Chains A and B, each alone.
Chain A
Amino acid sequence: MNSLVVVGLLLVIMGLAYQSGWSRSRNLATPNGIRVHSRPQYHGTLVALWAIIPMLLILALWAYFGGDVIRAFTLAQLPADVAAQTGQDLQATLQRINALASGFGVAGDVQPYEQAAGEALRQFQFTTFLVVIAAAAGTGILALLYARSKITPRLRARNNVEFIIGLLLLACSGIAILTTVGIVASLVTEALRFFTFVNPLDFFFGTVWNPVFSSTEGGAQGQYGLLPLLAGTLMVSLIATLVAVPVGLMTAIYLSQYAPRKLRAIIKPIIEILAGIPTIVYGFFALVTVGPFLASAGDIIGLDIKAASALTAGLVMGIMIIPFISSLSDDILNQVPSSMRDGSYGLGATQSETIRRVLLPAALPGIVGAFLLAISRAIGETMIVVLAAGNSPVLRGTPLEPVSTITISIVNQLTGDTDFAGPQSLVAFALGLTLFVMTLILNVVALYIVRRFREQYE
């Protein structure tokens, strides 16, 4: 109800402002044929902007401080002994009074002081609301009048409006920067808090991962060695790359060099479907189908393969990044000028000789960039490993056993826990920071290589 009133008020004043700016600038134009710099729409918009911005400011201030003011007022209405309550009790009392003030009422007997406070609060809320609304409307109208009075034929309303639009656009693109700043700031601060509990050396070079969730204060805090997780991450990513690179690269080569255009138009989108499937689906596929299949296949050849293992996760993750590698490599192979190909054919090279000896070397930097991007994606992938890697944070050399990865541990340590008090949950940020830095380096290098490659042939 209240928000409806506010939105309505804003709309009405905006409309009024636009209309008055519009008509005033229109009137300027008519009498003696003066040329007005900007068209009436721009004058209208400018006045509307003038009116709306101070109103929004006032409402924002109230939204931010209003709660505290109301709370202070309610406390002042209470008898001293009640107001002296702390924590839960005080909270409960305040809620009861709020319920009374809103007219919903409370169950059970109502204390007289509660009744009085509720009544007073209702009055106070009503008046403050009116005051805020009036203040907002008043400033809005004042600003409107001011802006209106400034309208002259020479006012560059369009430029002003466009300037504000430009500022808005700039602010929007600033959000991307803010996101990065937010990521870095939150990861770094929380990771630093973690390092007050655990020595960074123990974290980065520790070989045991055993984060004990203990209720005893200060007692066993567990061990937070990164290495088992890092080894697991690298092992899974390595397997994924071993699967995806040959398949992806050969797919790209076949599609870009051999396949007739029609076939390419059908196959390419089908393979790209793989890129659009949510990773949770891959995880399920790995856990339910691929894992058991590998385990029974291992039985046949006499290998003890665990259903949830680095191999299972890596294999499925490899499938996931095939389209990633194939479409990037495809793009890059297509960017190698066709004169290279012609040159090689002209010398009598076969198609595969041309591809292996001319196109691939020429495209190598770009393809390496694509591989790096794919590896970075594999390192940061979460759901497949959470479901199918088995979560066993022990340093092992074999891919046939369960492993744990950085991403698995982040999920395990942070899920459902938002009280970042102990190292148990804070370690997630240290892990996240490690992950972020690893992928960032890979991405920066890869993007740099790819960019250089593109410039070479432009």
Chain B
Amino acid sequence: MTELSQSNTASRSLAAERARKVKAGLRRRHMTEKIFRGLGIAAIVAALGFVALLFTDVLSKGIPAFTQANLHLEVAYDPAIIKLTPAPVREVGQSDAGFEQANLKWRSSLVLLNWNKVLEVAMRKSAPADYDIDTRQLLTIPETNARHILRERYVEDPGLLGKTISIDLVASANVDNWVKGNIDRDLPDAQQQLGADARALTDFFAENGTLTKDFATGIFTNVDSRAAPASAGLAGAFMGSVYMMLVVIILAVPIGVASAIYLEEFAKKSRLTDIIEVNINNLAAVPSIVFGLLGAAVFINFFHLPISAPLVGGMVLTLMTLPTIIIATRAALQSVSPALRQAALGLGASRTQMVFHHVLPVTFPSILTATIIGVAQALGETAPLLLIGMNAFVASVPASPLDQATALPVQIFLWNGNENRNFFEARTSAAIMVLLGLMILLNAIAIFLRTRLERRA
């Protein structure tokens, strides 16, 4: 009994000693805890800060590009300047090719006319009377393709001859920069892009309403242009991207879903399926540029598919997105409860019937979401497309997936490399906004569809 009480007091004092030690360390430990937690918050703030910085940066640079300086001119189609035979009419017995040649000849004579003169007259009419500016400087105010626009108007409607109509023209990139204040107005003449007279005239136009800043519809409706940067638009790149996404959807979705079904539902665990599985996981992590090399070597060089074509781009992106879709679909299939499978099999359904009639419909929302996210990923991919020639300059909207085209992200890359940095920084940001907008839209659709479908299921 005494021994026990002795050991009791001993253990009591030991406990007190320990308690003292624990207490001694508490302050330091709680400090460490606070620091650690603070680090966690700092990391999150940093990550969120990056998101915010990136978006505000792109937005602040891109939003000004959605307005653009436009000139509103009264253009007179003066017969004294426009001297031209009437357009050719198809003669009896003339072949398609023959007619086309005649047409071509007429058009080249049309091109040779002095359309700049027409433009110049119209511009001087809006300027103060007897404003002293030489023609070359005057013509730096509208975009270089202004004369083509005047000409095309005439081709559309030859009846304009002798009439005066009002036409809206895009002002040149330099004028746009000047009006938006992107250029330091106090810079000496030698460093200015516009001549002194042209600057003064621009300011005058802005005051008298000949020049206004309007919403830049050209960004959406025009194709890329090197000669006339202010009229460069995304229409061509957009269609290129649309074709590629179509190819990806047509190829990647059925193949991806089919492989996932095979691997998850039919394949017996064997060496082969093991290899396929490891292989797919690795493919998902292969750098995208390697897929570009594959495309260049196999599709272009070996099968001689057309270079710069959205079809090939879509095929390369398909191979790239396949693993994503397969992995996501398998995950969706795995999450279907075994009870459903057993119920179907128990009723005498074959394995195929079970999968296609019961399992697949249940997983449809997840598969759809995975697919859209995969497609969105493919939409933003740039590197592999550079290797299959989709960075070519294409000044038309591709009419089919076999025509030369570029894609939205590649267009961003190309614009970013343009020498007219001042102007194209904004254009590029605008293009980025369009691309990000599309991706956000796709993701929003995915989320919307998933919630809709899951609620119904």
Contact = CB atoms under 8 A, between A and B. Distances in A.
A and B in contact, CB less than 8 Å: yes
Interface of A: 99, 103-108, 158-159, 162, 165-166, 168-170, 172-177, 179-180, 182-183, 186-187, 189-190, 246-251, 253-255, 258, 267, 270-271, 273-274, 276-285, 287-289, 319, 322-323, 326, 348, 350-353, 355-356, 373, 376-377, 379-383, 386-387, 407, 410-411, 414-416, 418, 420, 428-429, 432, 435-436, 439-440, 443-444, 447
Contacts of A173: 258-260, 262-263, 267, 276, 326
Interface string B2-26: 0000000000000000000010000
Q: Considering the complex of A and B, which 7 residue pairs feature the smallest CB-CB distances, nearest first?
A: A380-B287, A105-B95, A278-B380, A254-B40, A250-B43, A173-B259, A186-B297
A350 B31 CA distance: 11
29 contacts: A105-B96, A106-B97, A107-B98, A170-B266, A173-B259, A173-B267, A179-B319, A180-B283, A183-B293, A187-B294, A248-B43, A249-B43, A271-B44, A271-B51, A276-B377, A276-B380, A279-B383, A280-B380, A280-B409, A287-B416, A319-B54, A356-B36, A383-B383, A411-B386, A416-B389, A418-B307, A420-B301, A440-B282, A443-B282
B348 to A, nearest CB: 12
A251 B259 CA distance: 35
B44 A352 contact: no
A447 B40 contact: no
Given A176-B259, A247-B46, A274 B293 contact: no
A440 to B, nearest CB: 6
Contact of A254 (B44, B379, B432): B44
Contact of B301 (A168, A179, A289, A418): A418
A411 B410 CA distance: 13
Contacts of B61: 288
B298 interface: yes
B350 A162 contact: yes
Contact of B54 (A179, A281, A355, A411): A281
The majority secondary structure among interface residues of chain B is helix
B400 interface: no
A174 B416 CA distance: 40
Contact of A274 (B50, B256, B260): B50
A123 B389 CA distance: 39
B392 interface: yes
Interface centre among A190, A255, A432 (most CB of B within 10 A): A432
Nearest to B304: A418
B425 interface: yes
Contacts of A180: 279, 282-283
A278 B382 contact: yes
B271 interface: no
B428 interface: yes
Contact of B33 (A165, A190, A350): A350
A184 to B, nearest CB: 10
B413 A383 contact: yes
B452 interface: no
Contacts of B425: 288
Given A173-B260, A443-B282, 19 more contacts: A169-B266, A170-B262, A176-B322, A183-B293, A249-B43, A254-B44, A270-B48, A274-B47, A276-B443, A278-B409, A280-B409, A284-B412, A387-B413, A407-B383, A420-B301, A428-B293, A435-B290, A439-B285, A447-B281
Nearest to A246: B43
Contact of B275 (A177, A179, A416): A177
Interface in B267-308: 267, 275-276, 278-283, 285-294, 296-298, 300-302, 307
Contact of B51 (A187, A190, A274, A414): A274
Interface centre among A248, A279, A282 (most CB of B within 10 A): A279
Contact of A355 (B36, B44, B258, B275): B36
Interface centre among A99, A280, A414 (most CB of B within 10 A): A280
Nearest to B100: A107
Contacts of A172: 254-256, 258-259, 262
A159 B40 CA distance: 58
A214 to B, nearest CB: 22
B286 A380 contact: yes
A428 B44 CA distance: 39
Contacts of A377: 285, 287
Contacts of B275: 177
Contact of B98 (A105, A162, A258, A274): A105
A435 B187 CA distance: 48
A248 B39 CA distance: 11
B262 A440 contact: no
B363 interface: no
Given A274-B47, A280-B413, A285 B54 contact: yes
B58 A285 contact: yes
